[in-house]
Amino acid sequence: MTQDGEGLAPFNALPETDAVAALLDCCSAPAWARAVASGRPYATVEVLLETADAVLAELSESEIDRALDGHPRIGDRPDTAASVREQAAVATAGDSIRDALAEGNRAYEQRFGHIYLVCATDKSGAELLELLHARLGNDLQTERRVMRTELAKINRIRLRRLLGAAA
């Protein structure tokens, strides 16, 4: 990808409804997708990524919950190509790790009321389990902040992939 991004021009040129649909594949919060799409045209990939982060930071908690709805539990069977790629290392984890992740997911959801979201790209099942256990010690406010940071990382990866695919 060039500095300005080979796929940025095609993304900028998409009709609004197509841009929103493409962005919803990155993050399932409709308000986020609409706001990022409405910011076009973007001069550089970095400006797009910074805008996406800024929009995410301002989303209501209900919109963040909608974003979470677009992600499978860590260790569950992913339902999108993006999640399959992102959780690839978990797919090869042994039964003990997968069972521990399932148990940890239940404890996390009971404690925080939403799925355990983490940027799983390039992390093993054991690493994801260790992070889950560490995050169970967070208070609700801290955990929501950590989860938003992880969501921003995932969005950035998916946006870069979108632009690469758009080229």
Q: Which residue has the tokens 């009709």?
A: 15
Summarize pLDDT for 116-167 with one digit per residue, the tens. 999 999 899 999 999 999 999 999 999 999 999 999 999 999 999 999 965 4
Say what the pTM is: 0.89
Summarize pLDDT for 26-59 with one digit per residue, the tens. 999 999 999 999 999 999 999 999 999 999 999 9
How many Cα atoms within 13 Å fall on the side-chain side of residue 50? 6
- Among 118, 120, 158, CA closest to 33: 158
Rounded to 5 degrees, what angle do the CA atoms 84, 89, 90 make?
80
Between the CA of residue 144 and those of 14, 82, 106, 167, what are the distances in Å?
33, 23, 17, 35
Q: Which two tokens stand for residue 113?
A: 């009321």
